[in-house]
Chain A
């Protein structure tokens, strides 16, 4: 399987000489969903910001399709879409206009946009709300707008930060089904989450972060071997790591 995202020896943070994440090494390949797991403040969001190209690494690189953001900014960013933890919407645009803007910004053809958008709207039961403005949406609906925009583009890579907060069970189910479908079609997904039971069922590999470092990674089976916890659930492994038992 070809790697889409390659993070090599990535160190970075908000203040010079005070890195928040240390020497991260990981990849996201085609056809896999990778779960990024860690306590609050473990450095998940900072890692994601580096991958998005919003923060400059102090050392190391984050490459998508073999290129860093600095080398080819436009190409780098056109390879992925991002679902932020807190929905960020344009107060002045309707749901439909959000979708249209996203499609235009990512260079979709109008025909492609129209064929993709209807089934998505129906799946997330937003098809009767296309003229609504964000002020009329609940938190969960705003999250759905973010998800719709990200799915619409059908990029090679999805970067998803805690997507389940505020989403209703049907929404979560639809979202996961789409993720699996796109994965099977060749996309890669990097998903940060705290909902471990869901992660355990849907992610192919896991990256467990603790205090800015990657302490464990691999499939569930590999995590069990590395932590020495036979037959443990992801929950148990995670708690084990979070209590600082693995270094």
Chain B
């Protein structure tokens, strides 16, 4: 018999170790500096924004929306693995202890994050509702209580065999959470007690019943675990390479024209690179995000030739991130045995990257030109992209290929 409690502890420890490792990698990466910069700028603007908000700002309503969404979303990391569908099924009856550990851990994380989000929004509460540490403690307590309720109840909800039924109950929870948060931020504590009673009934007589009727929905639990894991990886992937990241594919048919090439041998790889770029969730998202963040920097930093350095840094960030696409097919035998020479492959990759850099440069140039009217420097931005791709890309590729092969 497997000791499921031990299994949980082992997996949790492995998970924590991995998370810490990724944190240290993230801390080492250059992007963290720009993130800190953004947080500093962000907090300055947050303070300014609060000053600028009108008297009749619907703070209660917005807080209610934020927290009813947050409370309803109750992710639970079960740390299940694919193999569990085979190896843990026989001990299904014993899994209760494993999952109760998972729920406790999700409760702890959920409570912490609830408090974190509330602390972030605390200035708004201070401004529009009530100030004072007593308020902070009271609101914090009630929000955490609701989070615990939601995690517990949503676990029972996960026993339902159909996604659509789960969604129905989720909607029900959202309504309860909405009323709860609304009453809370209006400081209507007496009504809040009534809601507690409703929650008690729901817990014991609605969601509690599922336990008797249904077993665990292993496949759904596994799917949830995997999607949560991928979410975590994708976040880390902004800072450093995550080899385990499986790309999600979006069809994006409206972008197909970008990836249409004439039927020639030399176009085989450019077409593949472009289609991968356009359809895989993360490359295009990264590109758009970097362009937008670039706009923000161009906007915040006073106009001048030094903007060219800023833009150059963004070219560098983008190129570095996109090298993962080159290595994506490293283990693909079918790709490796195409009768295409190694340097043709490298050139195709560089060409493709050059095009994207030039487009990026054109975007920055247009934005800068419209903002400052200084079209001289604006034109130098796409020119910079070309220079960058001629001067930097070959050495970067060389370094990358020797690193990865």
Contact = CB atoms under 8 A, between A and B. Distances in A.
Q: Do A and B associate with each other?
A: yes
Interface of A: 52-54, 73-78, 82, 84, 88, 90-93, 97, 100-101, 103-107, 109-110, 113, 133, 135, 146, 149
Contact of A91 (B280, B336, B337): B280
Contacts of B340: 74, 105
Contacts, number: 72
B389 interface: no
Contacts of A135: 249
18 contacts: A54-B333, A74-B339, A74-B340, A75-B339, A84-B333, A88-B333, A90-B276, A92-B247, A92-B275, A92-B279, A104-B268, A106-B265, A106-B338, A106-B339, A107-B265, A133-B251, A135-B249, A149-B334
A87 to B, nearest CB: 9
Contact of B337 (A52, A93, A107, A146): A52
B237 to A, nearest CB: 16
Given A90-B272, A106-B339, A107-B339, A82 B333 contact: yes
Contacts of A93: 272, 275
A84 B267 CA distance: 24
Closest 8 CB pairs of A and B: A78-B339, A104-B268, A110-B263, A77-B339, A105-B338, A105-B268, A107-B265, A92-B279
A104 B341 contact: no
Interface string B313-337: 0000000000000000000111011
A97 B275 contact: yes
Contacts of B380: none
B272 A101 contact: yes
B249 A84 contact: no
A139 to B, nearest CB: 15
Interface of B: 247, 249, 251, 263-265, 267-269, 271-272, 275-276, 279-280, 332-334, 336-342
A113 B263 CA distance: 10
B265 A92 contact: no
B338 A54 contact: no
Contacts of A101: 268, 271-272
A104 B337 contact: no
Contacts of B338: 77, 105-106
B249 A52 contact: no
A75 B339 CA distance: 7
Contacts of A113: 263
A92 B249 contact: yes
B334 A82 contact: yes
Contacts of B280: 91-92
A104 B263 contact: yes
Residue among A54, A76, A77, A146 with most chain B CB within 10 A: A77
A110 B275 CA distance: 19
B123 to A, nearest CB: 44
A234 to B, nearest CB: 28
